[in-house]
Amino acid sequence: MGKKVSFFCLLVWLAAGIVGCSVAQGKTGDNRKVDYTVVKKEDLPAEVKKVIDSKKQEGFQMTYQGEGELYIMKGYGIQSSGGYSIQVEYVTENEEEVHVKTKLVGPASREEQKDTISSPYLVVKMEDRDKKVIFD
């Protein structure tokens, strides 16, 4: 009888674990794609330019809100050469958060490398949704 009770408890525990994992995954799986624009340097608001200029030597992740827009900024700090680019892997949202993931892409060839150092950064603009931004 004791083995049956133990086995039953084990089954209940496993079922609860499976259901719990499904619920937890569902919350992150509810992310929806967000419309955004990658902003050119010349189109950045003066405040954003100033902040980037002061931080671009280091890696940074910041946001700036203004005039109904949200600017999401990601910098990768000093790199040993030029020719780097940044790819946006995704910008998604759920009920509480905006998630952003970017990727630094190095020069494809030695010819693309420049003899100068660089500080690559990216600014994404979207409608301000008054949500916390998470850099994945």
Least confident of 15-24, 35-44, 45-54, 112-121: 15-24
DSSP-derived letter for residue 106 is -
In sequence order, which residues have a C-beta less than 8 Å from that of residue 106 and are 6 or more positions away?
A: 83, 84
Instruction: Report the distance separating Cα 34 and Cα 63, nearest Å.
Output: 16
Pick from 118, 72, 108: nearest CA to 93: 72
Angle at 99 between CA 46 and CA 28, to 5 degrees: 165
pTM to 2 decimals?
0.74
Write the pLDDT tens digit of every residue in 32-63.
999 999 999 999 999 999 999 999 999 999 99
Write the pLDDT tens digit of every residue in 59-101.
999 999 998 999 999 999 999 888 899 999 999 999 999 999 9
Break the chain into its structural domains and give their ranges: 1-30, 31-135
Instruction: Report the distance separating Cα 132 and Cα 93, nearest Å.
Output: 10
* Overall residue count recorded for the chain in this entry: 136
Tell me which amino acid residue 60 is.
F
